[in-house]
Every structure is written in structure tokens, then in C-alpha cells.
Amino acid sequence: MKTAFLVLLSLCCLLGCAKTAQTGQQLFTQNTDTTTKLTNKTTLQYLALGDSYTIGESVEPAQSFPYQLKTVLTGQGYTVADPRIIAVTGWTTTNLIDAIAQAKLTQKYDFVTLLIGVNNQYQGKSQAQYRTEFVQLLNTAITFANGNKKHVFVLSIPDYSVTPFAQNSDKAKIASEIDQFNDINLYESTNAGVNYLNITGISRQADTDPTLIAVDGLHPSAKMYSLWVAGLAPMVANNLK
């Protein structure tokens, strides 16, 4: 069964890479104008950092949470550019740090989201390493947000123990470890003074609502992402005022 999990994970990574290739040309576009005051007439620049949950594995790009967030904010009168997404299925904090360095982005963004850590847990990486690298990523996100901590939004790690993918795994162990990793990112986010949205509870609703899971049996559906955005959009809008 372990071999089957590894095969599925490899397939997900290939799909994630393919999806990144589709949107990758927008990752490295630079805009050095960071002095414009934020108003509803300003075109807001948005950077999304993460893994499969950010790229939107197994849903259309427009159904991923960064694009749904853009749509909701647009409906509220904001003008938001297509999000710059640095995320690939299977990435750990180490992978994300390396990818950001390789991107060599010099642009500042009006707001930044960060969701990372599920693959640290899945791959058995230490919580000490996660804490160190999450803090590094958090500081990087603040820098990308032009030093404005109010414009950085951390999302908690979803709990995949309730998905069909984990049906033959130790679900209690997975859920417990996800909570431990989330204790770390919550503490460090609070300590840094950035915004934090707990979406783990929403992810656990999939235990009784299969429509919240994508066709791959592991990742969120567009419906679940919309529930995340229902909490994230007002948080972003309130902090952009």
C-alpha cells in the first residue's frame, strides 16, 4: 500500500508540474512600481506562495483559491491582477524556499498569501526544521509585501486524513501531526504580527461531505476553495483599507 501511495504522489507531482507550466510565465513578470497608494482604482498585485493547495491541484486554475480570491475582490470593486503563483504539488518548505530564490523576484506586492507544510508532515520532516523554514518564508512574504505585515495572510494546513487517499492510513496520527504543524505556523504567524486564517476545520468537513474533495480523492474541490475564500476575502479587503 505504501508503494501505491508513492505512485499516486508521483502522479500528483507530475500533474502539479504540468499545471505550473501552464501558468508559469506569469511567475517571473516584474513590476517595480510599489509606491502607488492602495485604493479601489489601484491594480493590486498579489503573490501566492505554497504547494498543491495553492496551485489548485485537480481543479481548473480559475477554481483555485488565489483566482477565486481575485474574483471575489473584483466583485467588491477592487482591480486585481492575475496572481503570481509560486507553488507546485509535493513542495515542502525547503522546496518553496529554493523556488523563490530561483525566481529572483524584485517586485513588491500589495498582498501575499502563504500556505505550506503538508508535505513536511507527509514526508516525515521534523517540526523543528518546519519552524525554522516557515519563519524564513514568513519573513520573505513580509518583504514581498513591502514590509507591511497587515498585507500578509497565512492559511493553516488542511487535514487530508479525511480524504479517500488516506483511507488505509493512520488517520488519527495524520490529524494529530497536522495539528502540531499548525500550532507552529499559528504561533509564528501571531508572533510576526501577520494575518492568520484557520481553514483546517473546513477541510475536515470533507469527512461527511465528499463534494469538498476533488476527483483525485486527495485535494480540495472548487467548492472547498470557495469556503476558504469566504473567510479570506473579507480579511484581505479589511486590511487593504
φ, ψ of residue 144 to 5 degrees: the values are: -65, -30
Compute the distance between CA of residue 24 and CA of residue 89 in angstroms, rounded to an integer: 14
In whole numbers, what is the pLDDT of the chain averaged over residues? 88
What the chain holds in terms of domains, given with CATH numbers, is: 2-22+39-240 (3.40.50.1110)
pLDDT digits (tens, 9 = 90+) for 81-125: 999 999 999 999 999 999 999 999 999 999 999 999 999 999 999
Contact between residue 111 and residue 49 where contact means Cβ atoms under 8 Å apart: no
Please give the Cα distance from 127 to 130 (Å, whole number): 5
**In the predicted structure, residue 39 carries a pLDDT above the cut 60:** no
Structural element, H or E, at residue 49: strand 46-50
pLDDT digits (tens, 9 = 90+) for 135-173: 999 999 999 999 999 999 999 999 999 999 999 999 999
CA dihedral for 198, 202, 207, 213, sign (positive or negative): negative
Single pTM value for the model: 0.84
Q: Which tens digit of pLDDT belongs to each residue from 26-37?
A: 332 233 333 344
9 against 130, higher pLDDT = 130
| β-strands 84-87, 46-50 pairing | parallel
